[in-house]
Amino acid sequence: MANLNRIILVGRLAAETETRSTLDGLPMCRFVLSVERPSGASGKKESDLFDIVAWGKLAEVCGSYLSKGQLVLVEGKIQNRTYETKEGAKRYATEIIARNMKMLEKGKGKAVANAPAAAMSEPDDDLIDDDLPF
């Protein structure tokens, strides 16, 4: 049986993006996506927050054109990692590593005149349609 790790989320940025580069100069952009889920019997809207990480050209686009409150679609994979704090405590993090991003509305506050309608990172060659279980 084939393995599949793919997620598609549509939501709003919960905060401004954070862009930096690695020591090797590879651009990286982090942001938090708030995704509403169907409300229960109470009718109160609830949402989940997802940590999104983009790399390379996609990170540059996200850092330049995305802003807090903007509606976006993010496609990628789920990744878990562990790290150790300065105090020596072991921590766990679950992140969405973005492969593609599409802006579903114009941003607020950042230049969007030349913003691409969609941004794509490297193509995902490891997923072949014949491997899908359905």
Q: What are the chain's domains?
A: 7-109 (2.40.50.140)
Report the percent of the chain where pLDDT is more than 90. 68
User: Rounded to whole angstroms, how far apart are CA atoms 35 and 13?
Assistant: 9
Q: Is it the case that residue 43 has pLDDT exceeding 60? A: yes
- Predicted confidence band of residue 26 (pLDDT cuts 50, 70, 90): very high
- Give dist(CA 105, CA 86) in Å, integer: 40
Query: Do 68 and 40 touch, CB atoms closer than 8 A?
Result: no
Please list the residues that pair with 101 across neighbouring strands: 74, 119
| Pair of tokens at residue 34 | 């708030």
Task: Please give the C-alpha separations between residue 65 and each of 40, 44, 82, 103, in angstroms, as whole numbers.
Answer: 34, 31, 30, 9
Share above pLDDT 70 across residues of the chain, in percent, rounded to a whole number? 78
C-alpha–C-alpha distance, residues 128 and 134, integer Å: 12
When comparing pLDDT for 125 and 25, which is higher? 25
Phi then psi for 112, rounded to 5 degrees?
A: -120, 5
Alpha-helix runs per DSSP H in the chain: 56-65
